[in-house]
């Protein structure tokens, strides 16, 4: 079984969000299952120089973008026994940042065409091209139009994974002819409010669809979560599968994390030492007994931050410390910055993102807040469980599939959750968690349950392999 992953970010090369963690971890697990999986990415200028120096040029050619033929360089690097290809074109990718440019439609139309022009030339014929998010969504459409008579691609199947339905790649109708070189007869398959929708093109043309949790796969088939594509997703419900993301347990391991002053597996005493160390670094009162609440996230509305803004003043009347790390919308950045000024002994805000600092927060904190309005899968709660920071989540998407509410009668469950998107319910759940925290017996049972949580990629990788076989003719 040969599979090509097509994505626009991947750890350790380039990352803006959880997609990079998936693309960095899942291929390694698939390889263990006997899959020859390779990954293709844009060669961004921001990729670390040390990686760029290891790359070898394996192909040069061109790819059509509208009426022009644009240069395609393909460089290769093998890391952790996985082969990575990088599409090199400085005009499109030698920039500061990955997304949000005026010509993103052209950049990623080029990226998709470049890959299909590349493959016959590099001695790798995939059985399946597995495309991730809207930036890689045109490949199924191109295969059924521009490459439908190309013998190299006759048996190639496509899978498309939705990592977040909110981001779709919507551009003016002129893109269809001017960049994709397709006539009006193809407009229906990509049309969205009179525009061209890259993600919709994959939902229509890919052989199989997946998303990153079972609950999210169901949620996006109803209007509240469906981002105006729920009807199409309902029509393809038999081809839509939810597979929850895993966590790279080797990469995220508090026992071997170089960012931590006190490595630990499950010992609460070592975790408390990390708390004291972080309190010292941040200038907070150094107390082992105070519950530390962590918020590590993009500061955007999707993450449920408006719920927190409603009651933070009330929450800090409790005996707690709150640590915030992230960047995003100015309204939230300013709110949390001001909260830290008002409550310097209770709130510590950091409008930045630093992976090492994030790990230290996970390791030091007792509770991890993740009240998302929607969450396709989420990685924060998975890291929190791994680092023994009890997650408090809203019951949506992958949060439902990975966090089970703790029951003090049965002593089952690995976190806390609330159902309604409501600030009062969220604050009530936090207070419940704080009550459990004060009961050493109950808290010990909860901590033990967290250490038993298995959110590694093993099971999910096997589910992907089963789907690959289902569309590749039993290879």
Contact between 205 and 189 (Cβ < 8 Å): yes
The answer on whether 15 is annotated among ligand-binding residues is: yes
Residue 332 backbone phi and psi in degrees, to 5: -80, -35
DSSP state, residue 186: G
What is the torsional sign of CA 349, 354, 357, 362? positive
Lookup: tokens for 178: 């001017």
Q: How far apart are CA 220 and CA 229, in angstroms?
A: 8
Tell me if 8 sits within 8 A of 46, measured CB to CB. Answer: no
DSSP H stretches of helix in 206-300: 214-219, 230-235, 268-282
Q: Is residue 388 a contact partner of residue 254, using CB atoms and an 8 Å limit?
A: yes
Q: Are 455 and 246 in contact (CB under 8 A)?
A: yes
**Residue entry with tokens 């004291």:** 276
Which single residue is written with the structure tokens 């590349």?
A: 118
**Beta strands at 82-88 and 68-79: parallel, antiparallel or unpaired:** antiparallel
How many secondary structure helices (H) and strands (E) does the chain include? 18, 18
Cβ–Cβ under 8 Å, residues 39 and 85: yes
Count Cβ atoms within 10 A of the Cβ of residue 208 and give its class: 0-12 exposed, 13-18 middle, 19 or more buried. Answer: buried
| Sign of the CA dihedral with 48 first, then 53, 54, and 60 last | positive
CA 90 to chain centroid: 26
- The answer to whether 207 and 236 have CB atoms below 8 angstroms apart is no
Which residue numbers belong to the known binding site? 15
Which residue numbers belong to the known binding site for ADP-alpha-D-glucose? 15
């Amino acid at each position: 079984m040969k599979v090509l992953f097509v994505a626009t970010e991947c750890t350790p090369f380039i990352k803006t969000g959880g997609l990079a963690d998936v693309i960095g971890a899942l291929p390694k697990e698939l390889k263990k299952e006997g899959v020859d999986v390779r990954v293709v990415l844009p060669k961004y200028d921001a990729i670390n120089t040390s990686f760029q120096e290891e790359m070898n040029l394996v192909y040069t050619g061109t790819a059509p973008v509208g009426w022009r033929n644009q240069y395609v360089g393909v460089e290769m690097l093998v890391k952790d026994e996985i082969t990575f290809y990088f599409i090199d074109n400085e005009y499109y990718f030698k920039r500061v940042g990955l997304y949000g440019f005026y010509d993103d439609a052209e950049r990623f139309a080029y990226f998709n065409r470049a890959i299909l022009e590349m493959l016959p030339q590099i001695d790798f014929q995939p059985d399946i091209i597995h495309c991730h998010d809207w930036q890689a969504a045109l490949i199924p459409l191109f295969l059924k139009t521009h490459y439908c008579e190309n013998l190299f691609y006759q048996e190639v199947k496509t899978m498309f994974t939705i990592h977040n339905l909110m981001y779709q790649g919507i551009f003016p109708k002129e893109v269809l002819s001017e960049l994709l070189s397709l006539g009006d007869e193809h407009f229906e398959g990509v049309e969205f409010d009179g525009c061209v929708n890259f993600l919709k093109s994959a939902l229509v043309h890919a052989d199989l669809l997946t998303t990153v949790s079972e609950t999210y796969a169901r949620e996006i088939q109803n209007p509240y979560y469906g981002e105006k594509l729920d009807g199409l997703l309902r029509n393809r419900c038999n081809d839509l599968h939810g597979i929850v993301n895993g966590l790279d347990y080797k990469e995220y391991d508090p026992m071997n994390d170089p960012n931590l002053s006190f490595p630990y597996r499950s010992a609460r005493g070592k975790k408390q030492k990390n708390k004291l160390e972080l309190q010292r670094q941040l200038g907070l009162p150094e107390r082992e007994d105070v519950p530390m609440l962590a918020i590590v996230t993009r500061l955007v509305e999707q993450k449920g931050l408006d719920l927190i803004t409603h009651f933070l003043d009330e929450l800090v009347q409790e005996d707690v410390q709150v640590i915030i790390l992230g960047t995003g919308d100015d309204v939230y950045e300013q709110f949390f910055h001001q909260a830290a000024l008002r409550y310097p002994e209770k709130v510590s805000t950091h409008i930045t993102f630093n992976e090492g600092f994030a790990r230290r927060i996970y390791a030091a904190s007792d509770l991890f807040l993740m009240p998302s309005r929607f969450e396709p899968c989420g990685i924060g709660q998975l890291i929190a469980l791994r680092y023994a920071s009890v997650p408090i989540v809203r019951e949506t998407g992958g949060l439902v599939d990975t966090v089970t509410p703790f029951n003090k009668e049965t002593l089952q469950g690995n976190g806390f959750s609330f159902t309604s998107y409501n600030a009062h319910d969220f604050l009530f759940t936090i207070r419940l968690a704080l009550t459990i925290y004060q009961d050493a017996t109950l808290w010990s049972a909860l901590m033990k349950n967290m250490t038993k949580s298995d959110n590694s990629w093993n099971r999910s990788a096997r589910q992907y392999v089963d789907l690959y076989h289902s569309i590749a003719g039993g290879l």
